[in-house]
Chains A and B, each alone.
Chain A
Amino acid sequence: MEQRRIAVEDLLALALQAAALSEGKERGEVWFTEEPATLHATLKGIRDRYQHVFPDLAELSFSGEGAFPYSPEVRQILGNLQLDGVIGRRNPSFDRFSPNIFAGTKQVVNDELRALFAEDPDGQKAFADLVEELRGKLIVKTG
């Protein structure tokens, strides 16, 4: 399969926004768990399964020398996405995060996806599968 260069931080930002939008909530909050064991195990699985399509995922390291796989890069990516206003952690316990969805987010995400996958159905399919995995394993609440 053809390999696409997209920085991990950009890929995850886009995938999280796409996952939130696919919940049918163009406005409102879709919460993803930030419970370390679930979050890191899910993203390790995504790295292992999709790095042949998105090779920059291979930059994530997941130490398996403990109770759950853990990636310092994932922690930093989520922190950067918060600093950049892409996700919010406004809930009281900060054990969840939510992509910030605004009126124009759907358009912005669609534009980016078109730019990335316009003539690349395989890449588009892989991205859609990745988003589905994030939805299935990390979304804990919509409202």
Chain B
Amino acid sequence: MAHDSAAAGGALGRANKALIPIEDTANLLAAFAIMALMILGVLQIVLRSVFNTPITGYIDLVELSMASMAFLGAAYCQRLGSHIRMELLVGRLKGRALWFAEAFGTLAGLFIIGVLIYYSWGHFLRSYTLGDTTIDAEYPVWPSKLLVPIAFSIWFARLALQFIGSVRLFLNPSLEPVAVVVAKDVAEQAQDEIHEVMGDEIDPPQNGGRS
């Protein structure tokens, strides 16, 4: 990408590199929340059935923790192009037409996520000033509500980069793609699926799998 560093690709590339670790960390936090939910569930069953002392406010804890799983990975998912869409048209476009469609799609995302950041912030602020708590164990609700505008802001940043990246390629389709999702055909999607399950363990089929 040496020829690319002069213009928009340079700054865009740097912004992209800066955003990636933030997205990865946010998704990792969501991953930890899933792990914690598993441990909490097992503990709850053991404590309730064996010791007859269920965790106080278990359901409250689960509900509060769900915001981290539901939102924190949104930008990571966007970067990898995993929020579903219909590929019928986009999958067939090439060059300028493709980058126009991509720019339009990310602009739509910027609009709605922008609106949601503003109004979910308001939702958080009301909860914070009123001192809203959960019904059972009376945990404060605001930290969970705060996760929405935070996660959506990272998502917004990712969408902004993708929008700039698409516009840049629309203006000059011959440039190296930076900060855009490269549309995949079904065969490539299938490869992704295989990789997701088997990780790096995938090996040539002839040797019959791992020993």
A binds B: no
Could you list which residues of chain B lie within 8 angstroms of chain A, going by C-beta atoms?
none
